[in-house]
Structure 1
Amino acid sequence: MSASRRPLFIVGCDRSGTTLLRLMITNNPQFHILHETGFLHILKDRSDVYGSFTAPRERWYFIRDLQTHRATSETYSFSAFGLTEQEAETALAKAAPVDFTGAAGVLFEASALKRGATRWGDKTPHYVLHVSWLAESYPDAQFLHIVRDGRDVASSIRRAGWEKSLRSAAQTWRTRAGGGHEAGSSLSEKRYREVQYESLVTSPEKTLRSLCKWLDLSYSSEMLNFHEHSDSHLPDAHEDLYEKTHKPIDPSRAQAWKNTLSSREIADIEEVAGDLLSEFDYKLTNARVPLWLRGLRGLHRNTLSYTKSLVETLRRLGIA
């Protein structure tokens, strides 16, 4: 596959800047990057149903599943392509016989060509946990992993209500950012690259020029004007999550945690994910969780453990 046809997967922990990065790159006329399709690692298990996509019913099963599979809590996978059923059916029929990943690629490419782009991509954050499988399934694909300071990410995740505590939010960042980093380390430099959110918002042109060189993509100044076209590149669903994409880059978003988190909150995050923060070259504050709070949490854990053990014993005795 030529460099002009290589797909791109933008991955990263949620709230790390994947949407911002997608808008910048897809504002380059050579690229069309879909917004959160989220089906590849799930619908692959239905490959036997789809067969070789030669029969009309096989193609119909695939299109139907895309129409009913939720990419997010408010969107469906098929809608991300911006194709009609007939356009999808025609593209799949023309490509058959083809396997599942090939069929998915056909729809991605059809979506890009419909918009006059020569390359396609997908921005689905949680694919950061499936980099190895995607890399094997799409041998020519490139992976762009955007990493943001885990203290900012944890704060944003808790604020969005996706996790109840900063510690659990920090663990989410650790699992996803760390998982992508580990999987990506087995790929060549041409296939996998990490970019830090902080560099993207404080030195956007320099960072984008470097990324374009890696992508074999011509740099376009329009990439910095993403906010002027964000409405046409984002779904109406979850509009509250994309409020900042309608405005120019705000450098103050880098390291915002320094002005929004207390010392104790910072300590919690660093205790959970400090080693990974350091691995990504984020400087630790070395804040410490107060001893009294450690003791209280230990007591709470012990109480829960004792209660659970007591309930299990009572159930075995037929009392509970």
Structure 2
Amino acid sequence: MATSAPTSVRPVFVLGCPRSGTTLLQLMLHAHPRIALPPETRFVLPAYEGRLRFGDLRDPGNRAGLAAWITGRKETRFDELGLDADTVAERIEGGPPTLGSALGITLRSYAERHGKVRWGDKRPAYALHVEEILRLFPDAQFVHLVRDGRDCVASLMGMPWWHRGFHEAVATWAQVMDVTRRYARRLGPDSWHELRFEDLVAHPEPQLRELCRYLGEEYDPGMTEPRRVAEKAVPARKTWHRRTHGALDTTRAGSWQQRLTPDQIRLCDAVLGDRLVRNGYELSGAVRPDPAELLHYRRVAALRRAAHAKRRMLDRLARVREPGPVSAAPSFTTSEFRA
């Protein structure tokens, strides 16, 4: 059966600070009858960063090597997509000779498996790699989910996979907010949409209606019940996402007041204050933090900024050595979808 696609089926990328609710938003979008966002993958950014190793993709043998890298390694989490590796590899080998096309084929195959037209991906890390996503998918639409930085920090501190400490958690939220603010200004309302986690869980329908308008899609009421797709779209190993299997929960908003210590709250208010207020969050009114704590934070934040600048520099050096274009072929956003 053929399903007519609109003139644009632009890929959708959800991003934000870790623990800002991006998985919940992924499920809401995945519940839409035309949109499919997979469980968090690990092949888009690593493939881009290691793109030189795959060689000139105009060579079918090199495309075969890239396909094997995507579909055959546990690290890419391809196995969590429920796709047949041989079929996807064959499509990549026979597809357009660019990295973006190969990655797009994989993500679009996931959408086709669910009988949907729109495809994309969700990963908090994309917040610091918008430039890379745009090189791969120049027509991408970004959705940035913002959550109170103090709640993100408190949640990160409770995650079994977070081992970087409190100051690093604070610096992570600050950096994400700074970087995404620049891209929001640069890309504008046609390619960048922002919403707050607290508003999404408290008033899901108006928030999702506005999101659908941005995407050029009709709103679907099923989007307000993400738990209906959580069992299929959230890997069982991710026990920290267990709340997505239940009803929308507003009780976690503002829980930082009980989960952070007074000293931690003082530091958050001091270093995140302007960003918090700019996004509609009230400060606690706490006194200034200990100078030693403030100095520690500034060192951690400076190291994060330096690492980000180094990645940008290395990326620009790698571009000089690229054997060909990396962008996905235009057919990914204009061709007719068939299910």
TM-score band, normalised by shorter chain: 0.7 to 0.9
Q: Which moved more, 1:269-278 or 1:109-118?
A: 269-278
Aligned partners of 2:102, 2:295: CA distance in 1, in Å?
Answer: 52
Contact between 1:17 and 1:197, CA under 8 Å: does it hold in 2? yes
Aligned equivalent of 2:99: 100
Q: Secondary structure at the match of 2:194?
A: strand
CA drift of 1:7 comes to 0.3
Aligned equivalent of 2:47: 43
The structure showing larger relative contact order (alpha-carbon pairs under 8 Å, at least 6 residues apart) is 2
- Is 1:15 the equivalent of 2:19? yes
- Is 1:30 the equivalent of 2:62? no
CA drift of 1:41 comes to 2.6
CA drift of 1:245 comes to 0.6
Q: Which moved more, 1:106-115 or 1:8-17?
A: 106-115
Q: TM-score, normalised by structure 1?
A: 0.83
Query: What do you get for the CA RMSD once the two structures are aligned?
Result: 2.4
Q: Which moved more, 1:142-151 or 1:110-119?
A: 110-119
Q: Secondary structure at the match of 1:120?
A: strand
Unaligned runs of 5+ in 2: 299-339
The amino acid that maps onto 1:12 is G
Contact between 1:141 and 1:191, CA under 8 Å: does it hold in 2? yes
Q: 1:165 to 1:46 in 2, by over 3 A?
A: closer
Aligned partners of 2:169, 2:125: CA distance in 1, in Å?
Answer: 15
The 5 Å alignment of 1:80-91 reads: 80-91=80-91
Aligned equivalent of 2:278: 279
Q: 1:296 to 1:78 in 2, by over 3 A?
A: closer
After superposition, what is the alpha-carbon deviation per residue over 1:192-218, rounded to whole angstroms, capped at 9, x for unaligned?
111110110111111011101111111
CA drift of 1:12 comes to 0.5
Q: Secondary structure at the match of 2:86?
A: helix
Q: Which moved more, 1:27-36 or 1:263-272?
A: 263-272
Rg (Cα) greater in structure: 1
Aligned partners of 1:9, 1:297: CA distance in 2, in Å?
Answer: 34
Aligned partners of 1:298, 1:242: CA distance in 2, in Å?
Answer: 34
Contact between 1:163 and 1:169, CA under 8 Å: does it hold in 2? no
Aligned partners of 1:120, 1:207: CA distance in 2, in Å?
Answer: 20
Aligned equivalent of 2:322: none
CA drift of 1:69 comes to 6.0
Q: 1:296 to 1:111 in 2, by over 3 A?
A: closer
Q: TM-score, normalised by structure 2?
A: 0.78
Unaligned runs of 5+ in 1: 71-75, 302-320
Aligned partners of 2:107, 2:143: CA distance in 1, in Å?
Answer: 17
The amino acid that maps onto 1:13 is C
Q: Secondary structure at the match of 1:253?
A: coil
Contact between 1:68 and 1:77, CA under 8 Å: does it hold in 2? yes
Q: Secondary structure at the match of 2:36?
A: strand
The amino acid that maps onto 1:41 is L
The 5 Å alignment of 1:103-252 reads: 103-161=102-160, 162-163=162-163, 165-238=165-238, 240-252=239-251
CA drift of 1:252 comes to 1.7
Q: Secondary structure at the match of 1:273?
A: helix
Contact between 1:4 and 1:118, CA under 8 Å: does it hold in 2? no
